[in-house]
Copies of this chain bind each other. A is one copy, B any other.
Amino acid sequence: MSITVVGSVAFDTVETPAGRRERCLAGAATYFSLAASFFTPVRVIAVVGEDFGPKEEAVFSARGVDIRGIERAPGKSFFWQGSYLDNLNEARTLKTDLNVFAGFEPKIPDAYRDSQFLFLANIDPVLQRRVREATPQAKLVAGDTMNYWIKDHKAALLEVLKGLDILLINDTETRMLAGNNNLVLAARAVMEMGPRMLVVKHGEYGATLFYGKNSGSHRTECFKTPAFPLEQVTDPTGAGDSFAGGFFGYLASQAELTLGAFRRAMFYGSVMGSFTVERFGTERLQALSREEIDNRFNLFRELTHLD
């Protein structure tokens, strides 16, 4: 089943202890769609500027990603500059130029209308909601958000949450959104806001899937995965979006969405995040094969299972 994703396609300049890259192709929708493309067809809705040329197009087309929904606008693409020199786990933002993204009005190509899986990457919740409403055929809808929208645009965000099946956010965002420091209780509170599942990403420590609510036996209603151990983290940018792409891409490839499928999706999410951070930008995703993914999946199972 195909996935439609709406989000940012951008250029990033990043500095990490491993080095520096100028204007690499980036953005949540880019990482998401490249990661998901190893599992299922992906269609992107975004806006880019005149700096997005054949070289960038080729990155998507090499992975078979449909970019008919990427609108070209006069001006420059969304640009972000950040540094991980102080802390490899959290970027320090040095510059954000919205550029053409400031006027983004998502348009859904007719050819995308049969996508049954919809991913709303981290953008203004007003836009997320508009895309959600324009795709009534979507059977499974997942989304991301960030501290900025939780703090300053909560009302709009709460409207989006009502239309989500799965929300993917990190620990801090979960606690902030729920106003509760205990992660299990915070997760339950977030699920009361709409999504029937919540994936909490713990960065270098893995992720937890919370599912089901209002049940007495809440204790079994989660699934935890550590992170794949890495000897070299080159650039953490895009880890969360790649996790989401692996997670949702795997789900979209399954005939039946059993609990087992969700558990394996968590593992595939971790695996895709682990590949992305091994190199700068999307370099590792561009050079990846499905065989490498499945090998790491199997190794990851070995590193985490009792027998």
CB contacts under 8 Å to B, within A195-243, are 202, 204-206, 208, 218-220, 222-227, 229-233
Shortest beta-carbon distance from A7 to chain B in Å: 28
- Does B303 contact A305, Cβ atoms closer than 8 Å? no
- Does A306 contact B264, Cβ atoms closer than 8 Å? yes
Asked if A226 meets B229 with Cβ closer than 8 Å, knowing A206-B205, A264-B306, A304-B304, the reply is no
- Does A181 contact B224, Cβ atoms closer than 8 Å? no
- Does B229 contact A302, Cβ atoms closer than 8 Å? no
Q: Please tell me which one of the listed residues B202, B219, B231, B302 contacts residue A205 in the complex, with CB atoms under 8 A apart.
A: B202
CB contacts under 8 Å to B, within A226-268, are 226-227, 229-233, 260, 263-264, 267
A side interface size, CB within 8 A = 38
Q: Which B residues are CB-close (under 8 A) to A223?
A: 303-304
Q: Which B residues are CB-close (under 8 A) to A307?
A: 260, 263
Binds B, one of A44-52, A91-99, A141-149, A182-190: A182-190
A1-25 CB contact bits vs B (8 Å, 1 = yes)? Answer: 0000000000000000100000000
- Does B182 contact A233, Cβ atoms closer than 8 Å? yes
Whether A59 is near chain B, meaning CB under 8 Å from some CB there, is no
Alpha-carbon distance between A227 and B227 when the two chains are bound, in angstroms = 12
Q: Which B residues are CB-close (under 8 A) to A205?
A: 202, 205-206, 226
Q: Please tell me which one of the listed residues B206, B224, B229 contacts residue A229 in the complex, with CB atoms under 8 A apart.
A: B224
- Does B306 contact A231, Cβ atoms closer than 8 Å? no
A305: nearest chain-B partner, CB-CB: B305
Whether A63 is near chain B, meaning CB under 8 Å from some CB there, is no
- Does A229 contact B184, Cβ atoms closer than 8 Å? yes
Give the most central of A218, A226, A267: most B CB within 10 Å.
Answer: A226
- Does B220 contact A304, Cβ atoms closer than 8 Å? no
Q: Which B residues are CB-close (under 8 A) to A231?
A: 182, 184-185, 218
Whether A72 is near chain B, meaning CB under 8 Å from some CB there, is no
Shortest beta-carbon distance from A226 to chain B in Å: 4
Q: Which B residues are CB-close (under 8 A) to A229?
A: 183-184, 208, 219, 222, 224
A231: nearest chain-B partner, CB-CB: B184
Whether A67 is near chain B, meaning CB under 8 Å from some CB there, is no
Q: Please tell me which one of the listed residues B183, B227, B305 contacts residue A306 in the complex, with CB atoms under 8 A apart.
A: B305
Whether A299 is near chain B, meaning CB under 8 Å from some CB there, is yes
Whether A88 is near chain B, meaning CB under 8 Å from some CB there, is yes
A267: nearest chain-B partner, CB-CB: B306
- Does B184 contact A230, Cβ atoms closer than 8 Å? yes
Asked if A225 meets B222 with Cβ closer than 8 Å, knowing A181-B88, A182-B232, the reply is no
Q: Which B residues are CB-close (under 8 A) to A232?
A: 182
Whether A279 is near chain B, meaning CB under 8 Å from some CB there, is no
Whether A301 is near chain B, meaning CB under 8 Å from some CB there, is yes
Alpha-carbon distance between A185 and B301 when the two chains are bound, in angstroms = 21
Chain A residues in the interface with B (C-beta under 8 A)? 17, 88, 181-185, 202, 204-206, 208, 218-220, 222-227, 229-233, 260, 263-264, 267, 299, 301-307
